[in-house]
Amino acid sequence: MTLKNRYDFVLLFDVKDGNPNGDPDAGNLPRVDAETGHGLVTDVSLKRKVRNFIGLVKAEQPPFEIYVKEKAVLNNQNKRAYVGIGKAELLEGDSKKRKGGDAVEEARQWMCRNFYDVRAFGAVMSTDINCGQVRGPVQLTFARSIDPIVALEHAITRMAVATEAEAEKQSGDNRTMGRKFTIPYGLYMAHGFVSSFLAGQTGFGEDDLELLWQALAQMFEHDRSAARGEMATRGLYVFRHDSELGNAPAYSLFERIRPELKEGVTAPRSFEDYQIKVSETDLPSGVTLERKA
């Protein structure tokens, strides 16, 4: 099933006593927009979580394999059979010498069929020909916190040392100090887009889209770690356009989702401190708002 609609979506998620996205340039401090103090989470960080979630629930099997893998998720080094997904037809033209251009096109389509992340986010294929690229229909922006965030630094101790040499130096005291960074609370908002035209080119269908919504809603539930604290998707507002081209500018739709601090709250510490204002009464004609989480 091919997509027949354009979608623009708003993703709200929060973090409590955790580090949603460390900055490698700043010793893993939470990313901050230095000028305004707002927290940032990169698009690639969010896409990584979508990939991990789908790798997890679909067990890395075609057509939902994940190309760009994280080792922790991966457990199958065994060879998998690719038979069954248009394999027979691919074998037929095999003896003939193909032109480079055809082979690239065929390989591109085969990759799209087998790998969810290639189909959704696109990928670059190495080739001498300049068009070995897949542009994915799903596009995410940086997420930004609603209010400025405060990064806290915590010193922590470990009751063991890594090497003998270290133990000797401490004459058996065997303790090391570490640091971790958290933000007490942050509510973040990211924007996203799904183009039906690009979906047609990669074969990203309705089922894939449902899986994307599911992933965005549940991805943090399966991404627990010492660094992240408590993270959760707090809202996924999907604007569905009746037409492929769309029925309203994206920014005019995004403006309708406005998280605001409740009156009297100066330092937010929970989702309860926010009020999400959604103006959906006078939506442009041809646009419907669906809440997916």
Judged by CB under 8 A, the chain residues 195 through 254 that form the site for another protein are 195, 197-198, 201, 243, 245-252
- Minimum CB distance to another protein, residue 96 (Å): 13
Asked if 17 is part of the footprint of another protein (rule: CB under 8 A), the reply reads no
- Minimum CB distance to another protein, residue 244 (Å): 8
- Minimum CB distance to another protein, residue 131 (Å): 7
| Contacts (CB under 8 A) with another protein, residues 83-112 | 83, 87, 90-91, 94, 101, 103-108, 110-111
Selected from 16, 42, 184, 261, the binder of another protein by CB under 8 A is 42
Q: Find the largest Cα–Cα distance for the chain.
A: 75
Distance of alpha carbon 18 from alpha carbon 15, whole angstroms? 6
**Residue 112's Cα: distance from chain center in Å?**
18
Q: Which stretch binds another protein (CB under 8 A): 131-139, 208-216, 221-229, 258-266?
A: 131-139
DSSP secondary structure of 189-225: EEEEEE-HHHHHHHT-BHHHHHHHHHHHHHGGGG---
Q: Which two tokens stand for residue 71?
A: 């080792």
Are 220 and 14 in contact by the 8 Å Cβ rule? The answer is no
Q: Which two tokens stand for residue 45?
A: 């960080």
Nearer to another protein, 40 or 217 (CB): 40
| Contacts (CB under 8 A) with another protein, residues 132-191 | 132, 135, 137, 139-142, 144, 191
- Minimum CB distance to another protein, residue 208 (Å): 17
- Taking alpha carbons only, the member of 272, 236, 263, 20 closest to residue 145 is 20
